[in-house]
Chain A
Amino acid sequence: MTDRAPTDWRTDAMRRRIVRRYGAERRFRMFGLGAIILSAGFLAFLIVTMVMQGAAGFTETRVSLPIDFAAAELTVTPEQLRGDRGNLALAGAGLEGVVDGAAGAAFAQQGGAELLSDGAWLRVRDTLKANPGMLRGRTAIDVPVATDIDVAYKGDGTPEAEQVVAALGDRLSRGLNRDFFGNADATDPTRVGIWGALKGSLLTMFVTLILAFPIGVLSALYLEEYAPKNRWTDLIEVSINNLAAVPSIIFGLLGLAVFLGTFGLPRSAPIVGGLTLALMTMPVIVIAGRNAIKAVPPSIRDAALGIGASPVQVVFHHVLPLALPGILTGTIIGMARALGETAPLLMIGMRAFIAAPPEGLTDPATVLPVQIFLWSDEVARGFVEKTSAAIIVLLVFLLAMNGVAIYLRNRFETRW
C-alpha cells in the first residue's frame, strides 16, 4: 500500500472547483430567498389587487337631482313624516313615482329614471324625513346613480355610459357608500350591502363559539388530565386528530344529512351553520388546548395536590388559568378559520339570496365568505368592486383576530 500524495489545495483545478462550489452555494441561497420573496410577493399582490379593486366599492356616485315637491302634490304633511310611519306615508303617497318623474324631466337625454339607482328614491325619502320643510318647495338632492354610470364614473364603463358621464359633468359627485354597511344583498349592485352577511357571520360565529369553546376545553382537560390510558381514550384521540384533518366540505355533508335531514332544523339558518362549524372548530380547540395544558409544569400540580387540593381543584384553580392564554390563542385561530369557511355552509343552504339581515338564529341568513362567493358569480360589472370590498372587510376581521391571537401569545406566553 502506497501513501497518498498530499493534496495540493493551490492547484488551478482545485481553485476553480472551490469557486464553483461557492457559486452553487450562492445560487442555492438565492433560490431560498427567491422562494420566500415570491410567496410573500404573491400575498402582497393579492392584497394590493383586492384593495385597488375594492376601494371603489366603499364609495358611490351621486347625481344632483332637482325635485319640485310643491308641484308634485304629495299628499303628505310634514307632521306625518315623524317617526316610523313616515316611511309608509311617503311610499303610499307615491314618492318613487315622483322621483322617477323628476329624473325624467331633469335627465331626459341621459335616460331619465334609468340613470338612477333603484335605491335613489329611498335616499330622497330619508332626506325628506330629516328635513320635512323641503316638502313645500323646490330642492336638489344628491341621489345614487345606476350601476353602469357608477362604474363609468369610476373609470371602467361602457362607451355609452362614458358619454352619459361626460354629459352630466360636475352634476356627478362621489361619496362614502353608507348603504354598503347597512344593507343586505340586492339585485342592483349600487344597493347591496354587507351588513346582512356580516350579521349572519356574527350569529353563526356566536353559535360556534358557545358550543365549540366549552366542549373543546372540557375535552382537552379530560384527555390531558384525567383520561385513563385505555381503548376508549385512544379512540377519542384518534377521532379528534382525524377530525382536524377532514376536508371542511365533509362537515357540510354531515350538516346536510344530520342537522337538516334527521333533526329537521331550518335551512340556511345561522344555528345550523354554527353547529356545523362548531364540529369543525372543536378539534382545533382541543388540540391547541392540550398543548397549552401540557405546557403547564407538573410541579404546579404537585404543589396543589400536596396541600390537599382535589384533582378537580388542581385543574380548575391552577392548570386551566395558566393554560388559558394558549387555549384562547388556539380558539381565536380556530374561529378565524371558521369565519373564512365557505364550502360547508354552501351545503346547508346558506347560499340563498337573502335581502334582509337575519333577526335571529333560525332566520335564513348568509355569511361573509358565502356572500363573496355569490357576488363573484354575478355578471354585472358593479359587483366586481363590491366583491373585493367585501373581501377587504373579511380580511380586516381575520387580520384583527390573528393579531389578537399573536398578541395573546406574546403577552402571556410563559417559559417554564
Chain B
Amino acid sequence: MSLGALFFVVAALGLIAWFVARARAVAFRTGRRERFSALPGHHGAFVALWTMLPPLIFLAIWWFTSPALVTDAVIGTAAAANLPPPGFERAAILSEARNLSRGEAFGAFHDLSELLAPAYAAAQSRYDWIATALAALLAFAGFAFAYARVRPTFAARSQVERIVMVLLLLASLIAILTTVGIVASLVFESARFFSIVPVTDFLFGTHWSPQVIDPRDPGASLGAVPLFWGTFFIGAVIAMAVAIPFGLMSAIYLTQYARPSTRRWMKPVLEVLAGVPTVVYGYFAALTVAPAVRDFAVSIGVSWASSESALAAGLVMGVMIIPFVSSMADDSLAAVPNSMRDGSLAMGATPSETIRKVLVPAALPGIVGGVLLAVSRAIGETMIVVMAASGVAQLTLNPFASTTTVTKQIVDLLTGEAEFDSAKTLAAFALGLTLFVVTLLLNIFALIVVKRYREAYD
C-alpha cells in the first residue's frame, strides 16, 4: 500500500478504536448516577490516540528513510553491478529507474535504467509490505495497551490531556527547529565556502565577478564589499530617502489631522500598498520606473545612465516600505501621552509646532526603531532588485549607475547551471549568512530601542 493509503487506514483504525472504547466506557455507567473522572469520549480518545500515534510516527520516519532503503536494496541486486561510481550519472540512472518503475516515465535515456526498473519495483513493493505490516502491528499493540486500561477508575481525561500538551509543546518546538535549521544550513555551507575562500578575502575584497573564478585564487573575484555597498546604497539610502519622509508624514497626517472617517479608509489603502507582491513591484520597476529614470538622467546630461540603475530599484523599494514606516511611526506617535500634546497646545503652539517640537522628538526612539526594522526589511528584499537592479558589482555613489545587491547575487549564483558544491554556489550561502546575521542584529537592536521607548511611557 502507498503511504497515503496507509495514512487513511490508520485514521480509520483510530476511528474504530474510538467507537469501541467509547462503547465500553458507556457500559460502565448504567444505572447509578455517579461522578467519573472521565467521560466515555475521553476513553475513546485515549484509545484512538494510542492506536493512531505509534503507526503515524513510524510512517513519518518511514517517509523520510524508505527511499534510501529502497535504493540500497536496488544497488545490492545483480543488475546494479554495472552502475557507474557514485556521482551525478549514477544518481541520474537511479532516479530514471525509479520513475520508470512507478510508471511516471515511459522511456529511459540510460539503458541501465530499464534494467534496474524491475528491481526498483520489487524492492519498493517489498518495503511497502514491510511498512504495512509494521504499521498494523504498532496500531494493534497501541490499541491493546490502551484498551486494557479502559476502566471506570482510569483517569482517561488527564491522560488524553497529557498527550495533547505534548503535541502543543512539540508544535512550538518547530519554531526552534526552523531557527536551528536555518543557522545550521547557512553555517555548514558557509564553512565549506570559507575553507576554499579566506574569510578576509570575502569580507574585505573589493572585486566581485563570480562569472570568472580563478581556481588558484578564488578569493580574488569573490570580494563582497561592492555587494554590501550596493545593498546599503539601495536599501538603506535611496529606499529610506523615499520611505522615511513619506511614511512619517503619512503617519502624522493620519494620526494628527485626518478625520476618523478619512483615517478609516486611508489606512487600508496604505496597507494594500504593503500587500502588493514584491514581484509586481519588481516588474513595475523594470518596465516603467527604470526607463523613466534613465530618460530623466539622459535629459539632465548623464548620457551613460544605466537602465538598471540603483535609483529605480531604490525608489520602488522605498514605496514598498512606506506603509511599514508609516505604521511604526503611527504606533510610536500614539504612544506619546496626550498630556504632552495638550500641554503644548495650551501654550498657544500651532498643531504643526506641537508635532515638530514635542510629539516627534518624544516619539523619536520608536520611530528610529521602526526605521531600523524597515531597513532590515529593505536589505532582505529580493525580487525588486532581481528584476530591476543589474548584476554588475561596482562601488559607486552615482544613483544612475548600475549596482547589485546581496540578495540579487544569491539568486543569480543559485539559479545558474553550476554544480552544487562549487565555490560559486557556496558563496550564495556565505552571502545568505551575512544577510541573516545583519538583519538579525538590526531587528534585535530595533526591538530593544522600541521596547525601551514603550516602557518609558507606560
- What residues of chain A have their CB less than 8 Å away from a CB belonging to chain B? 21-22, 24-25, 28-29, 31-36, 38-40, 42-43, 46, 49-50, 214-216, 218-219, 221-223, 226-227, 235-236, 239-243, 245-251, 253-254, 256-258, 261, 263-264, 279, 282-283, 286, 310-312, 336-337, 339-343, 346-347, 351, 369-370, 372-373, 376, 384, 387, 391, 394-395, 398-399, 402, 406
Contact = CB atoms under 8 A, between A and B. Distances in A.
Contacts of A216: 171
B298 interface: no
Interface string B39-77: 000000000000000000000000010011000000000
B280 A245 contact: no
A185 B146 CA distance: 53
B103 interface: no
A384 B286 CA distance: 12
B264 to A, nearest CB: 11
Given A42-B319, A242-B440, A249-B407, A36 B266 contact: yes
B429 A35 contact: no
Given A40-B273, A257-B188, A398-B276, 18 more contacts: A25-B350, A32-B256, A35-B248, A35-B253, A36-B266, A36-B270, A215-B171, A222-B171, A222-B172, A243-B179, A245-B377, A254-B186, A264-B68, A340-B277, A340-B278, A369-B383, A372-B279, A376-B387
B23 interface: no
Nearest to B277: A340
A372 B283 contact: yes
A46 B276 contact: yes
A222 B169 CA distance: 6
B288 interface: yes
Contacts of A394: 277, 280
A368 to B, nearest CB: 9
B351 interface: yes
B102 to A, nearest CB: 10
A376 B249 contact: no
Contact of A253 (B276, B277, B410): B410
A342 B352 contact: no
Given A32-B252, A247-B407, A312 B165 contact: yes
A250 B435 contact: yes
29 contacts: A28-B356, A29-B253, A33-B253, A35-B245, A36-B253, A39-B269, A40-B273, A222-B172, A226-B165, A239-B176, A242-B179, A245-B373, A245-B377, A246-B182, A248-B382, A249-B435, A253-B186, A253-B410, A261-B185, A264-B67, A310-B161, A339-B277, A341-B278, A342-B277, A343-B407, A346-B411, A347-B410, A395-B276, A406-B268
Contacts of A36: 249-250, 253-254, 266, 270
Contacts of A226: 165, 168
Given A258-B181, A263-B64, A249 B380 contact: yes
A35 B189 contact: no
Nearest to B246: A35
A219 B175 contact: yes
B327 interface: no
Interface string B368-390: 00000100110111110011000
A376 B380 contact: no
A219 B269 CA distance: 32
A371 to B, nearest CB: 9
Given A50-B280, A340-B279, A257 B185 contact: yes
Contact of B284 (A40, A46, A250, A251): A46
The 6 tightest CB contacts between A and B, nearest first, are A247-B380, A340-B277, A32-B253, A257-B185, A218-B171, A35-B249
Given A31-B249, A35-B245, A336-B275, A24 B352 contact: yes
A25 B381 CA distance: 37
Interface string B237-249: 0000000011111
Given A32-B253, A218-B168, A372-B280, A283 B436 contact: no
Interface string B332-359: 0000000000000000001111011000
Contact of A369 (B269, B279, B351): B279
B175 A240 contact: yes
B157 interface: yes
B279 A373 contact: yes
* Chain B interface category by residue count: 35 or more
B270 A39 contact: yes
Interface in B136-195: 157-158, 160-161, 164-165, 167-169, 171-176, 178-179, 181-182, 185-186, 188-189
Given A36-B254, A39-B246, A257 B350 contact: no
B257 interface: yes
A369 B277 contact: yes
Given A342-B383, A343-B383, A343-B407, A32 B168 contact: no
A151 to B, nearest CB: 16
B272 interface: yes
Contact of A282 (B175, B256, B440): B175
A227 B323 CA distance: 34
A310 B160 CA distance: 11
A244 to B, nearest CB: 9
Contact of A241 (B178, B436, B447): B447
A342 B278 contact: yes
Contacts of B256: 32
Contact of B250 (A35, A46, A236, A264): A35
B432 interface: yes
Nearest to A264: B67
A257 B383 contact: no
Contacts of B414: 256, 346-347
Contact of B435 (A25, A39, A247): A247
B414 to A, nearest CB: 6
Interface string B9-36: 0000000000000000000000000000
Contact of B272 (A38, A248, A402): A402
Interface string B404-441: 00010011001100001000000011001001100110
Nearest to B186: A253
Nearest to B356: A28
A322 B435 CA distance: 39
Contacts of B282: 373, 376
Interface string B284-301: 101110000000000000
A155 B82 CA distance: 61
A21 B283 contact: no
Given A215-B174, A247-B381, A342-B277, A242 B443 contact: yes
Nearest to B319: A42
A351 B415 contact: yes
B225 interface: no
B171 A343 contact: no
A31 B249 CA distance: 7
Given A32-B252, A39-B270, A253 B185 contact: yes
Given A248-B380, A263-B64, A343-B407, A253 B279 contact: no
Contacts of B277: 339-342, 369, 394, 398
Nearest to A212: B174
A242 B288 CA distance: 35
Nearest to B245: A35
Contacts of A283: 175
Contacts of A341: 277-278
Contact of B382 (A39, A249, A336, A406): A249
Contacts of A35: 245-250, 253
Nearest to B349: A21
Contacts of B428: 253
A141 B435 CA distance: 57
